[in-house]
Amino acid sequence: MIAMPPADRKPVSIHDAAEAKRCAKGRVVLIDDDPDILASLATLLELSGYMSECHASAALFLQAVAKGEPVYPGPCCVVSDIKMPDIDGLELVSRLQAIEELPLILMSGGSGIREAIDAFKLGVVDFLVKPFEMDAFLTAISKGLAINARAQVNKQGQSVLQARVRALTPREREVVSLVAVGRLNREVADQLAISERMVKMHRQSAMEKLKVKVIVHAPHAAVGMVGSAGSCNPLRAAAMTVPRYCQAEAPRRRQVSMTLARRAKARDPSSERVP
């Protein structure tokens, strides 16, 4: 499986600091077997403030990725010619599917409509036909980098969210999972065979660990871990991570709770009706 190199490289010189600044704006990987095109596009990117990385073939790029050498933080996208030996642009799209949200822009000087349609079906950001305007090229680059930047923000948010969810105790996960689907405190208490006071205590502790102020009570509000705006929903994430055995044991616990309650009532003379 292909994995992007870690973005934890640190600048140690003035030249490194300049490269890090360019990468922060965007790192663009250029793949083409024509060295003149590579040089022209790399110059345009550098003049626009971006960092460029050139490869003569898709195979060389994949080899560089496999080495896993650290890179400077920042968004990244790939621009590749569609007609190349060994690995062409369409095959590169398939190879890059193992890399999460790495946008790909294809360019070609002799492709037909069918190839362009196939490329868009595979999820490329744009398809540029040579010779193309520089403005069109920079617009596609900006779009690709924006997609990757959003993906990185979502990934960081999920990492923070997962750390918060891992901090929950098993009991807190049970309580949150039930509250997130609309159960009341007394219903949670009955299902888990604990007191309502304990439910409130676990609920408050979970809210503090998840750093939320309100727990949603409606099932339709329990959206996915990442919403349409890229915001995380820790409650839904906690509910998704509740072990299945906890859910499976809930009916048995409720039955035990009801049995104990009947026994306690039978032993308490004050509970009997006075004729």
Could you say which of 103, 126, 159 is where a domain stops? 159
pLDDT digits (tens, 9 = 90+) for 193-244: 999 999 889 888 888 888 877 665 433 333 333 333 344 455 455 444 444 4
Same-domain pairing of 206 and 148: no
CATH code where residue 85 lies? 3.40.50.2300
- At residue 214, the pLDDT reads 65
Buried b (16+ CB within 10 A) or exposed e, 10-39: eeeeeeeeebbebbeebbbbbbbeeeebbe
Answer yes or no: is pLDDT of 247 > 50.
no
Same-domain pairing of 35 and 140: yes
Element containing residue 44 per DSSP (H, E): helix 35-47
CA atoms within 13 A on the CB side of 193: 15
Q: How far apart are CA 242 and CA 197, in angstroms?
A: 21
Lowest pLDDT segment from 7-11, 47-51, 199-203: 7-11
State the residue for tokens 């971006």.
50
**Looking at per-residue confidence, does 71 or 140 come out higher?**
140
pLDDT digits (tens, 9 = 90+) for 112-166: 677 778 888 878 899 998 889 999 999 999 999 999 998 888 877 777 878 888 8
DSSP letter assigned to residue 217:
-
Token reading at 117: 């349609």
Q: pLDDT band for 77, please (50, 70, 90 cuts).
A: very high
Same-domain pairing of 31 and 82: yes
CA atoms within 13 A on the CB side of 272: 7
Same-domain pairing of 19 and 108: yes
Radius of gyration of the chain (CA): 28
Q: Is residue 84 part of a domain?
A: yes
Q: Is residue 3 part of a domain?
A: no
Same-domain pairing of 138 and 192: no
Same-domain pairing of 150 and 232: no
120 touches 127 (CB < 8 A)? yes
Neighbours of 203 (CB within 10 A): 18
Same-domain pairing of 94 and 196: no
3-state SS, residue 84: coil
- At residue 48, the pLDDT reads 94
Same-domain pairing of 145 and 195: no
User: Which is nearest to 240 in space by CA: 143, 138, 168, 133?
Assistant: 168
- At residue 215, the pLDDT reads 62
Could you say which of 159, 191, 216 is where a domain stops? 159
Answer yes or no: is pLDDT of 270 > 80.
no
Neighbours of 218 (CB within 10 A): 9
DSSP letter assigned to residue 216:
-
**Looking at per-residue confidence, does 108 or 224 come out higher?**
108
What's the average model confidence in pLDDT over 168-192? 87
Same-domain pairing of 84 and 186: no
Answer yes or no: is pLDDT of 188 > 60.
yes
| Domain carrying residue 62 | 14-159
State the residue for tokens 């990442």.
226
- At residue 121, the pLDDT reads 82
Q: pLDDT band for 260, please (50, 70, 90 cuts).
A: low
Same-domain pairing of 54 and 118: yes
- At residue 141, the pLDDT reads 96
